[in-house]
């Protein structure tokens, strides 16, 4: 008797996680990937003479999905936590400010620390403190992060803390970022305690480690020496006898080999591509096509330590949108991860781009490197040319979870279920953009298929 058959469209972490789950349950699996390599946004490539992540360099430890997959792939023992969970800086108004202690997802739970930091004016701190006494917010069922934070904490804290943390992670404009879909912890905090500061302080008291404590026994992130793409390599190796096809862009279900015989079809491509694949179900495709994307670019530079004016004593610097800089963040990779540390050079990642700011996309690689290095030079000071440089372009990389996102996704899934119950939607456009969420969505869809 023939084995059940799954067709997976998209060979990023979500599609491969789904394929892995079905394959090891004894299913026949075909994976169709448009590009010439596996991994999608997960990519590791050389900077000078060593491999450096070009997409994600870490994943959250607070949820188990990343760790669980690494356990299943025999990689868990190699996972590494940041050298010391060193703080980050925020650069605003021409000055560097250490991120105030007690900041959780941008919410300042320690107002004394906020006052001491001078990141926000005394009036701004007083305005944020009003969050503790304002009546519970009455807003739309799914407000934007910006709307709720401006209402409760005021503009200064929202622009200088919430924006660089939540806006930068999502490459978003926080004023059009769904609170429920992109910052469910903030929504839960508000619902539980009636204030963001009180709610996040309560969460910090119980799960402080997970949300940013400096306790090395309870890591916030994991990285992988040699690069996160090793997870992809291992997944592909585990799928050795599956039917794995690169260079196969799919634009409609009828294009899939053996579609009539398939028992499950996992769609693990960006939403705009899923809208084409599922064009036969017009209403669902229309909803998927509404999900917008932001482009980002990342430049990694290796700089001689001797030429640096500043000791790199943090994980990096965040640049709030209000300052209008090209750079959204700069990560001191060689301070954060011991496998990138070298005695004579520093490895630094410079990020640009978010929804509504595509200046980076209009620059050539050389112009982008020059512009970002000029901004970096103005902040940390250095006088020698880079030893090595790598530019990574990520067009249409970050799906935007705008207000109403969860409802839109649920509706699309319902419509698809009526259209063809074999189809599931997985990956970053739907239930979370981080690697653990993408892994979870792929594996959960596979388990749902297995449980049918
Ligand atoms: C620069 C950057 C840094 C990031 N940093 C982090 C981080 O530090 N930590 C973290 O947790 N997350 C991070 N993320 C987010 C995370 O990497 C992504 O959300 C996640 O990898 C997306 O996985 P996916 O499988 O859903 O989609 P993708 O990786 O986009 O995979 C989809 C695949 O489908 C293929 N495809 C597209 N169209 C078709 C088609 N028509 N037919 C067949 N195949 C098709 C694509 O080529 C791609 O391989 C980062 C993302 C980027 C871009």
Tell me the per-residue pLDDT of 190-213, one tens digit each, with 9 for 90 and over.
999 999 999 999 988 877 544 444
Residues at CB less than 6 angstroms from ligand 1: 9-15, 32-35, 40-42, 55-59, 249-251, 268-270, 273, 296, 298, 394, 397, 427-428, 433-435, 438
- Model confidence at 443, pLDDT cuts 50, 70, 90, reads very high
3-state SS record for the chain: CCCCEEEEECCEHHHHHHHHHHHHCCCEEEEECCCCCCECCCCEEEECCEEEECCCCCEECCCCHHHHHHHHCCCHHHCECCCCCCCEEEEECCEEEECCCCEECCEECCHHHHHHHCCCCHHHHHHHHHHHCCCCCCCCCCCEHHHHHHHHHCHHHHHHHHHHHHHHHHCCCHHHCEHHHHCHHHHHHHHHHCCHHHHHHHHHHHHCCCCCCCCCCCCCEEECCCCCHHHHHHHHHHCCCCEEECCCCCCCHHHCCCCCCCCEEEECCCHHHHHHHCCCCHHHHHHHHCCCEEEEEEEEEEEEHHHECCCCCCCEEECCHHHCCCEEEEEEHHHHCHHHCCCCEEEEEEEECECCECHHHHCCHHHHHHHHHHHHHHHHCECCCCCEEEEEEEEEEEECCCCCHHHHHHHHHHHHHHHCCCEEECCCCCCCCCHHHHHHHHHHHHHHHHHC
Average of per-residue pLDDT values in the chain: 94
Q: Which mutation among 30, 55, 88, 409 tests ligand 1's pocket best, with the greatest number of atoms within 8 A of CB? A: 55
Per-residue pLDDT, averaged over 163-190, amounts to 95
Report how far residue 393's alpha carbon sits from residue 369's, in angstroms, rounded to the nearest whole number: 12
pLDDT at position 157 is 98
Domain ranges of the chain: 5-40+231-291+402-451, 102-207, 293-399
pLDDT at position 208 is 56
pLDDT at position 327 is 98
Tell me the per-residue pLDDT of 76-120, one tens digit each, with 9 for 90 and over.
999 999 986 668 999 999 999 999 999 999 999 999 999 999 999
pLDDT at position 212 is 44
For the chain, the C-alpha Rg in angstroms (whole number) is 22
Q: Which CATH class is domain 102-207?
A: mainly alpha
pLDDT at position 217 is 61
Tell me the per-residue pLDDT of 8-36, one tens digit each, with 9 for 90 and over.
999 999 999 999 999 999 999 999 999 99
**Straight-line distance from the first to the last Cα atom of the chain, in angstroms, rounded to the nearest whole number:** 19
Q: Please state which of the four CATH numbers 1.10.240.10, 1.10.3720.10, 3.90.660.20, 3.90.480.20 is assigned to the domain occupying 293-399.
A: 3.90.660.20
- Tell me the CATH architecture of domain 5-40+231-291+402-451: 3-Layer(bba) Sandwich (3.50)
Per-residue pLDDT, averaged over 417-427, amounts to 98
Same fold, 102-207 and 293-399: no
Contact criterion met (CB below 8 Å) for 298 and 312: no
By mean pLDDT, which of 214-218, 267-271, 368-372, 401-405 is the weakest? 214-218
Contact criterion met (CB below 8 Å) for 220 and 30: no
Maximum average pLDDT range among 76-90, 137-151, 316-330: 316-330
Tell me the per-residue pLDDT of 331-360, one tens digit each, with 9 for 90 and over.
999 999 999 999 999 999 999 999 999 999
Point out the ligand 1 atom lying closest to the alpha carbon of residue 37.
Answer: 49
By mean pLDDT, which of 60-64, 244-248, 320-324, 413-417 is the weakest? 60-64
Residue keyed to tokens 């430049």: 299
Residue closest by Cα to atom 31 of ligand 1? 12
Q: What percent of the chain has pLDDT over 70?
A: 96
């Amino acid at each position: 008797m023939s084995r059940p058959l799954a067709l997976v469209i998209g060979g990023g972490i979500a599609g491969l996680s789904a394929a892995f789950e079905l394959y090891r349950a004894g299913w026949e699996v075909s994976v169709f990937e448009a590009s010439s390599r596996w991994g999608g946004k997960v990519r590791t490539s050389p900077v000078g003479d060593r491999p450096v992540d070009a997409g994600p360099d870490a994943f959250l430890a607070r949820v188990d999905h990343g760790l669980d997959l690494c356990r299943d792939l025999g990689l868990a023992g190699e996972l590494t936590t940041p050298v010391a969970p060193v703080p980050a800086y925020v650069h605003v108004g021409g000055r560097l400010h250490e991120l105030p202690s007690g900041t959780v997802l941008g919410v300042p739970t320690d107002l004394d620390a906020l006052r001491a930091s001078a990141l926000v004016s005394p009036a701004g701190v007083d305005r944020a403190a009003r969050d503790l006494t304002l009546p519970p917010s009455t807003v739309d069922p799914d407000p934007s992060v910006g709307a709720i934070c401006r209402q409760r904490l005021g503009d200064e804290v929202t622009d200088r803390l919430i924006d660089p943390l939540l806006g930068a992670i999502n490459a978003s404009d926080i004023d059009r970022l769904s609170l429920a879909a992109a910052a469910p912890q903030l929504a839960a905090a508000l619902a539980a305690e009636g204030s963001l500061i009180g709610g996040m302080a309560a969460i910090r008291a119980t799960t402080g480690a997970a949300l940013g404590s400096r306790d090395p026994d309870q890591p916030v992130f994991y990285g992988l020496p040699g690069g996160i793409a090793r997870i992809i390599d291992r997944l592909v190796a585990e799928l050795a006898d599956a039917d794995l096809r690169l260079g196969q862009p799919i634009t409609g279900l009828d294009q899939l080999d053996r579609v009539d015989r398939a028992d499950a079809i996992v769609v693990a491509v960006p939403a705009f591509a899923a809208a084409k694949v599922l064009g036969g179900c017009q209403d669902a495709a229309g909803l998927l096509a509404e999900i917008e994307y932001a482009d980002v670019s990342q430049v990694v530079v290796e700089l001689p330590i001797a030429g640096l004016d500043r000791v790199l004593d943090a994980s990096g610097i965040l640049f709030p949108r209000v300052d209008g800089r090209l750079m959204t963040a700069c990560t001191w990779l060689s301070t954060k991860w011991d496998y990138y540390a070298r005695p004579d050079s520093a490895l630094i990642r410079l990020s640009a781009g978010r929804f509504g700011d595509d200046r980076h996309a209009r620059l050539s690689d050389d112009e982008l490197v020059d512009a970002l290095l000029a901004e970096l030079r103005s902040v940390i000071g250095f006088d020698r040319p880079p030893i090595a440089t790598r530019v990574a372009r990520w067009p249409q990389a970050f799906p935007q979870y705008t207000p109403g996102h969860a409802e839109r996704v649920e509706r699309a899934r319902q419509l698809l279920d009526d259209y063809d119950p074999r189809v599931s939607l997985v990956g970053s456009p739907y239930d979370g953009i981080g690697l653990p969420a993408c892994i979870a969505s792929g594996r959960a869809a596979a388990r749902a298929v297995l449980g049918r």
